[in-house]
Amino acid sequence: MEPHPSKIFGYTDRLYARPGEALTFHVSSEGPPMYDASLVRLSHGFTGSAGPGFVEYEVPDAGFAGSYTGEHHVCQPGSFVEIDDPGSVLAEPTDMAISVYVYATLPLTERNESIGAYHVTQNSIGLTNQRQTICGTWDEGTATGYALVLDEGIPTVLWGDDGQPRSLSTSSAILANHWYRIDVRFPGSEVDVQLTQTPIANCMNRVSDQAAQIDVDDAAAPAVARNLARSAHPFRIGALAHRDGERWLAAAPFNGKIGALSITRGGDPLTGNGEELLARWHFGLSNREDGLLLWDVVDLSDNGLHGRCFNAPMRAVTGPLYAGLSEDFRSVPDEFDAIHFHDDDITDAQWPIAFTFEVPEDLPSGVYAARLVGGETEQYVPFLIGPGSRKKDVALLLSTATYLAYANDRIAFEADGAEVIVSHTPVLGQEDLDLQDHPQFGRSCYEIHNDGSGVVFGSVRKPIITLQPKHRAWFQSNGVWGLPADLCIVHWLDTLECGFDVITDEALDMGGYELLADYKVVISGAHPEYVTRREIDALDLYTARGGRLMYLGGNGFFATASFVPDQPYLMELRRSAAGTRPHQTAYGERRHATSGEMAGLWRNKGKAPQRLTGVGFAAQGFDRSTHYVRLEDSRDPRATFVFDGLEPDEVIGDFGIMGGGAAGAEIDCYDPALGSPPGTLLLATSGGFTDAYLVASEEVYENLPGLGGSEHPYVRSDIVLGALDGGGGFFSVGSIAWTAALSHNGYENNVARITHNVLKRFLMKDALDQIIV
């Protein structure tokens, strides 16, 4: 792809760091020959006139500040496994036999546009290669090495003979989404190369009559190999190697599963007797005590030719031996002897380091960015700085898992997605155009891969255009989402001159309750949708032991995420077969490879958000927001402090920069049946929503007339206050739009007043069920 003129893109090696640590920045310039880098602290992201505008503060003496030469770098999608072969055991194919099971999901280059999904993108990544690699070392440029590939879906073996490329193919293409065993044998002398394909049935699919007629034991016509020449390329599974300067990138990547791969040498080519096992990679086995399947690939042979995954192919997937009785890859590893590769996987762009930031010991915790300016173009690379040795009383928990789930979503360009968002016309911003021009930056977890399977990994180590701090058009032309929505809380705290520490999902997942223990108040972001089990358990224990949680968002603590151990820049998010979801992970593959956690909604695993915050996801709509009205519980003496300074019947939040109200976008409601704690006060509920607000699908058991729209009892947003034994408790607003109403009229409004009232009270030592006059 030709470089887009006058653009700068960048990323950092991780989103979160503490004073004394270092962050690396990776930058690509598409046009500007030079760019300036500086450090800014971010405070507010909405750029419109109905608020304080975009607010940033220059941070002097950043260390990396200065001018840099612009260099252009590319992203090369495609996941693969590379084998560590220091003894070149696999370099020479003479007298070698390869046996492998293959489940191709996109054997032909025609894309199946009929695949249904919430966020299907029409701008496909990859699909430029008619060839897909199963395994090998083939070097097209020198016609050396060997490989087993699919050429337009036809199993083909490649090798070099006296510097000339040679190939052998079966007579027919394999069918998509069926398991095949493919066998290839190279001769030990001047005899024939042999290649066969055989369809395999298991519990997930049968060998159809069509497959039997076409493919059973399809043997290729033999071809003679005389002088087999080794290549300089490494042995890979799922892609070939492509040299780009100092980087080895993916060439001809595969779409689908590869499993039970073994390579032997010697013996009788007909009976297999006397063969020497060179390698047997078992993709369902782990080298870890916890049994998790991360990036190391285990070789069972004596040669120890272990491998390493790149660009995070999907592991813990069903293989050719899957029996359909267990979804836990750790209990039956032989049934999960497979890896699912995609030609559009990308979790590390591998750009060189442009500059490094050594975080000063005295840098206050907060939201920061490296601001990159070259000519007329500007780009921010945001990151978050945690607390130093001395903590504040207030912690702001920012949902980096949700940032990564939505990273680089292309909803404005997708007709399917726009139809789901009822009564909303997509509004394009410059970021959407940049994403359309750069599909190689990867997909969000709300989209599907080229082969129709759902995206399950979100990564920091690639440009994330949707993480720009200035608000995106996205669902609403005048709204905020993601980081800009959370910056509304940052600016509100700055205006109050309330010191706070920033913590993140990955930090809380790693640190657990001990990370929260010293804080009096924890404030959530506007949309903490995806969290880990350790996060929920930590917050549960925090509030049970006297901590106070202010949940200032909607659709929070909703579904399961996992951070990769020792690699917190990478997040895994699979989808279960229930609830509101953009796509669905296949049966048998719904357990996270990186944590062992079952995918899905926390309410379906005994940890509904109502238990923690008193409210849980109920509905969503994106045409306009509405207000709140007080309920009888708001007159309870224990809640007097919440409404201090308000008139008794004052309408709450009939304003805001997200749809014109404080209740809207994605909303939560109180529900004792799902765990809203006894004694929770239901303080206020939302006014009427339009019929564009649809009830969450997890509340719909059958599709019957009248289940959707504003008449449904669950299409509402509730404000609740809960006091717990031990002095802790929670205050929840159940609306993403709440934070966008804080700054109305220079913070002189009842949304800001209520939120400030709660913060002041929560900072007091007195138990929350104690009446404060």
Pairing of the two strands 501-504 and 394-398: parallel
| More confident of the two residues 246 and 195 | 195
pLDDT digits (tens, 9 = 90+) for 248-281: 789 999 999 999 999 999 865 445 566 899 999 9
Q: Residue 708: what pLDDT?
A: 56
| Matching CATH number, 7-74+354-385, of 2.60.40.1930, 3.90.45.10, 3.40.605.10, 3.40.50.2000 | 2.60.40.1930
- Rounded CA-CA distance 686/716 in Å is 6
- Could you tell me which of 488, 478, 486 has the C-alpha nearest to residue 505? 486
**Of 160 and 337, which is predicted with more confidence?**
337
Q: Where residue 209 falls among pLDDT bands split at 50, 70, 90?
A: very low
Alpha helices by DSSP H, listed for 113-242, are 209-215
Q: Which residues contact 57 (CB under 8 A, 6 or more apart)?
A: 40, 41, 43
- CA max distance for the chain: 97
pLDDT given for residue 767 in this prediction? 87
The token pair at 265 is 């040498």
Confidence label for 604 from pLDDT (cuts 50, 70 and 90) = very high
| pLDDT for the residue numbered 159 | 92
- What is the C-alpha separation between 252 and 158, in angstroms, rounded? 13
Q: What is the pLDDT of residue 526?
A: 97
Which pLDDT belongs to residue 422?
A: 54
131 vs 25: CA distance, rounded Å: 34
Helices (H), 513-587: 513-516, 533-544
Confidence check: pLDDT of 363 > 90: yes
Residue 246 pLDDT > 80: no
Element (H, E) at 484: helix 483-496
Strand partners for 558: none
3-state class (DSSP) for residue 431? helix
* Per-residue exposure over 563-594, b if at least 16 CB sit within 10 Å of its own CB, e if not: bbeebbbbbbbbbbeebbbbbbbeebbbbbbb
Distance (Å, rounded) from C-alpha 766 to C-alpha 773?
12
Query: With pLDDT > 70 as the criterion, what percentage of the chain qualifies?
Result: 88
H/E/C letters for each residue in 636-702? CHHHHHHHCCCCCCCCECCCCCCCCCCEEEEEEEECHHHCCCCCCEEEEEECCCCCCCEECHHHCCC
pLDDT at 387 over 70: yes
Q: What is the pLDDT of residues 77-90, one digit of tens each?
A: 999 999 999 999 99
Report pLDDT digits (tens) over 475-527: 444 578 899 999 999 999 999 999 999 999 999 999 999 999 999 999 999 99
Nearest alpha carbon to residue 88 among 280, 297, 261, 230: 230
Burial class (CB in 10 A: 0-12, 13-18, 19+), 293: buried
Instruction: Over range 669-677, report the average pLDDT.
Output: 97
Look over the chain and give the mean of its residue pLDDT values, rounded to a whole number: 89
Res 608 pLDDT > 50 = yes
pLDDT in tens, 279-335: 999 999 999 999 999 999 999 999 999 999 999 999 999 999 999 999 999 999 999
b/e code 468-486 from CB counts within 10 Å (16+ = b): bbbbbbbbbebbbbbbbbb
pLDDT value, residue 765: 92
Pairing assessment for the beta strands 366-374 and 548-551 based on DSSP bridges: unpaired
| Domain edges within the chain | 7-74+354-385, 80-341, 394-619+634-690+719-762
Please check the confidence at residue 391 and state whether its pLDDT lies above 70.
yes
- The helices-and-strands tally (H runs, E runs) of the chain is 10, 43
Whether the predicted pLDDT of 601 surpasses 60: yes
Per residue in 101-114, pLDDT (tens digit) is: 999 999 975 443 33
Q: How big is the CA angle at 457 (ends 355 and 345), to the nearest 5 degrees?
A: 80
- Tell me how far apart the alpha carbons of residues 573 and 588 are, in angstroms, rounded to a whole number: 15
CB under 8 Å, gap of 24 or more: what pairs does 631-634 form? 631/682, 631/683, 631/684, 631/685, 633/681, 633/682, 633/683, 634/681, 634/683, 634/684
- Confirm whether 7-74+354-385 and 80-341 share one CATH topology: no
Whether the predicted pLDDT of 245 surpasses 50: yes
- What's the pLDDT band for 434 if we cut at 50, 70, 90? confident
Taking alpha carbons only, the member of 512, 527, 309 closest to residue 405 is 527
Tokens in use for 313? Answer: 């192919």
329 SS3 class: coil
**Residue 606 CA to chain centroid, in angstroms?**
23
Rounded Cα gap, residues 535 and 509, in angstroms:
5
Determine the topology of domain 80-341 in CATH.
Answer: Jelly Rolls (2.60.120)
CA dist 505 and 560 (Å) reads 12
Higher pLDDT, 427 or 340: 340
Q: In the prediction, which pLDDT does 222 show?
A: 58
Per-residue pLDDT tens digits for 693-713: 888 888 877 656 555 566 678
Query: What's the rounded mean pLDDT across residues 232-238?
Result: 95
